[in-house]
Structure 1
């Protein structure tokens, strides 16, 4: 199979319409390249699922997009403007917000305080945020370290939303959570994109659940994009997904 097997022939959005563009991105650590030649173009309200086995480079992509790691090559643009490399503050100011896989909560602060400390002018208020996460409404006065894993993940996403993201990066929303909780959380990703118009890039191990809420998907294996296409088409052809994960030639 070629390095990138393009499964969908759907037209890409014109560059002028793209909220997030990634052009020829290579990323890694020091002189070690982990991800090579990554291209993304997404309009507002679109959800991209980044899939792949452990160690494929998915978290490296997210950290690089967020400015936490320097780009080794390529460009990242939000709203047509190139972001400086390795400057997380500039990325956040441009509207790019990361929900990290460790959630990065202030565990000694209450749920309400975690949300308030992250709030940006123009972002949704507490009441609007609780409409998405009603389970948190009764936990506002409880410390973030004392709530359940599922509630902590809700809080991490809520804290991102009050920053008014143009691009929301969610790295492994399901980390450490029971499948039944993941089934409740992932549809919220779809609602966020639809209601706010934000681009959402989702790294997820629960492949089929991720494809249910995504518009587009890509499979990264050993740092290379092996398969891209619409989430609907990929979900309908699991044999191509399996082949991409295994590095085999996908059946026609």
Structure 2
């Protein structure tokens, strides 16, 4: 989120929600190439709603989303995907009856990660390449979901709760890959994550949502080194 760089992703005054209810209000963000932005906050803060709206799965209530300075039309997931916005949802959305190789191959676009590249990024998948996605462990399924997203050559990679249902030791192995993805692909990674400290270790910037509003925004290292800021953001207490 460097204001001196032309952002790959920009959100301006974004409002999101369902029906007449605005779950997220007045959200703005600038994400430059190769950056990781952690979106933190308690359950029900609107984090998943925000990602689904950026990805076009939900129409915006207000505001703008721009990719490479060009507006993205609201509620058009196909257009968003073609423009390079790729979402890894919290349920992973894998084709459970297809093998690892088939899940990767069916999604791949020109310029995206190859099957061999996916194996290099996630070596644990190499020996499971002929196994159906439904037979994988939770950690392996999450690796596959992220690898499949990378085969689509994302400009903006949205990852919703990578750690969902995973043991802490698996989360500690997976989250550093997020940093590698941003560094090696140049994608903007927007990471929604409940493992706050681990997320802050790999992120450049952090935003804390509380009741749909931005309670804090700034460098990830600042938030990680100031426990009072997190306490105030999550609990409403003074630091």
TM-score (norm 2): 0.98
1:115 aligns with 2:104: yes
Distance change (3 Å), C-alpha of 1:241 and 1:119:
same
For residues 156-192 of structure 1, the C-alpha deviation after alignment (integer angstroms, 9 at most, x for no partner) is 0000000000000000000000000000000000000
Superposed displacement of residue 11, structure 1:
6.0
1:227 aligns with 2:216: yes
> Helix, strand or coil: the match of 2:104?
helix
1:217 corresponds, among 195, 200, 206, to 206
| Partner residue, 1:100 | 89
1:18 aligns with 2:7: yes
| Partner residue, 1:176 | 165
Give distance in 1, aligned partners of 2:130 and 2:163.
24
For residues 65-110 of structure 1, the C-alpha deviation after alignment (integer angstroms, 9 at most, x for no partner) is 0000000000000111100000100000000000000000000000
Give distance in 2, aligned partners of 1:205 and 1:150.
16
| Partner residue, 2:40 | 51
- Aligned-residue CA RMSD (Å): 1.0
Q: How many residues align?
A: 239
Superposed displacement of residue 121, structure 1:
1.3
Give distance in 2, aligned partners of 1:163 and 1:215.
24
| Partner residue, 2:58 | 69
Give distance in 1, aligned partners of 2:225 and 2:126.
38
> Helix, strand or coil: the match of 2:159?
strand
Distance change (3 Å), C-alpha of 1:11 and 1:175:
closer
1:245 corresponds, among 217, 222, 234, to 234
| Partner residue, 1:164 | 153
- Cα contact 2:2–2:31 (8 A) shared by 1: no
- Cα contact 2:31–2:188 (8 A) shared by 1: yes
| Partner residue, 1:30 | 19
For residues 41-82 of structure 1, the C-alpha deviation after alignment (integer angstroms, 9 at most, x for no partner) is 011000000000000000000000000000000000011110
- Cα contact 2:2–2:32 (8 A) shared by 1: no
Give distance in 1, aligned partners of 2:2 and 2:161.
28
TM-score (norm 1): 0.93
Give distance in 1, aligned partners of 2:224 and 2:84.
30
- Cα contact 1:211–1:235 (8 A) shared by 2: yes
Unpaired stretches in structure 2, ≥5 consecutive residues: none
1:153 aligns with 2:174: no
Unpaired stretches in structure 1, ≥5 consecutive residues: 1-9
Runs of 4+ in 1 over 3 A off after TM superposition: none
Give distance in 1, aligned partners of 2:112 and 2:173.
24
Give distance in 2, aligned partners of 1:181 and 1:211.
17
- Cα contact 1:13–1:42 (8 A) shared by 2: no
